[in-house]
Amino acid sequence: MIKNISDCTTLNNGVKMPWLGLGVWQVNDGPEVERAVIAAINAGYRSIDTAAIYGNERGVGKAIKDSGIPREELFITTKLWNAYHDYDVALKAFDDSLKSLGLDYIDLYLIHWPIPARKKYVEAWKALIKLYEEGKVRAIGVSNFHIHHIEEIINATGVIPAVNQVELHPYLTQKQLLEYCKKRGIQVEAYSPLMRGKVASIREISAIAEKYGKTPAQVVLRWHLQNGVVVIPKSVHENRIRENADIFDFELSESDMKEIDNLNINKRFLPDPDKMNYTG
């Protein structure tokens, strides 16, 4: 049982990654993201997930510096955007992210989307391998990759991603992908784990939450953890950031886990990765 906010999963290269992190998608750069990151760190979070396309790497970096927490105690993730899949361009994009964050290294670097129409994600993966081999990043992975995308990069390079960050929640449980990644030793990480706040309106989840004396959001985050999935809920409100971390003092029963699993309707709030249009 995952019992503490400091508990970590061990990635396939031995690097430890916190089970709970703060996501900062759609959080404004400057004071807003800085306050959110500081609030999360003060609440015990040690993992922060950003991306080049979010436009807030600079603010995340400032908050990390201002927090006073030793760098080695933090786990920072950022991502390579779709426009930068060409090998040399990807290397430069990483350097730009590193500079924006004001860091000497990144803990986890991900390809943000495969963008199959461009047919460049294998090239991008080779760039990430180089960054890993050079010690500029502690672990490399992918985001929004289906099984066939992952198979292609492994077949081309022999290197298995450490993480696959995907949309995953009660309406999109991704059981086949979860099973595949488990067999491959790839840690699955969920973004939009709370369905953009919509979990509160699901009757079955509300009933389970009432039984445990928890909020629907806390129940769903706990469901993720018990499924072996890393979660990075996003919030800019200190009370909600703290509430999202209050999930380590209870455990869902097997029947309640199954009831949430059964809510799956394969509903996505973001595009299917095979159909995601290229955007510069």
The catalytic residues are 54
Q: Are 261 and 219 in contact (CB under 8 A)?
A: no
Q: Which domains does the chain have, with CATH numbers?
A: 15-261 (3.20.20.100)
Say whether pTM exceeds 0.85. yes
Model confidence over 143-154: pLDDT tens digits? 999 999 999 999
| E strand segments, the chain | 8-10, 16-18, 22-23, 47-49, 75-80, 106-111, 137-143, 163-167, 187-191, 230-231
- Residue 8 CA to residue 2 CA, distance in Å, equals 8
Residue 280 has pLDDT above 60, yes or no: no
Q: What percent of the chain has pLDDT over 70?
A: 99
So what's the pLDDT on residue 7?
Answer: 98
Model confidence over 149-186: pLDDT tens digits? 999 999 999 999 999 999 999 999 999 999 999 999 99
Model confidence over 46-78: pLDDT tens digits? 999 999 999 999 999 999 999 999 999 999 999
Mean pLDDT of 231-250: 97
